[in-house]
Amino acid sequence: MERIVFSCAAVALIGLGVCMVVWPVWIVIKSRDEDDNRAVSSGQIFATRVAGVGLVFLAGYILYALLTGMRGADFLTP
């Protein structure tokens, strides 16, 4: 059961990472306060995209480890 839950969480993280790569401006604007009207800088866009790529790779590795039964991936199973 835990394998299914963590696999679904990894897929959700992959989706978030893809959104961070494809729509970085939207992600940056949604993470700000309501009254913050500053323009989004190119550094923020770049940092969001880099974090998104890292998140996709990390979650992809976690999903791979869970689905293949890699040793050490079952640390939360009884």
User: Which of the four pLDDT bands, split at 50, 70 and 90, describes residue 67?
Assistant: confident
Each residue of 18-42: pLDDT tens digit?
Answer: 999 999 999 898 888 888 888 889 9
Domain ranges of the chain: 2-68
d(CA 51, CA 24): 10
Q: 73 — phi, psi (to 5°)?
A: -80, -10
pTM (predicted TM-score): 0.81
Mean pLDDT across the chain: 87
**In the chain, how many H helices and how many E strands?**
3, 0
Can you give the length of the chain in residues? 78
Give me the amino acid identity at 22: V
d(CA 66, CA 59): 10
pLDDT for residue 71: 73
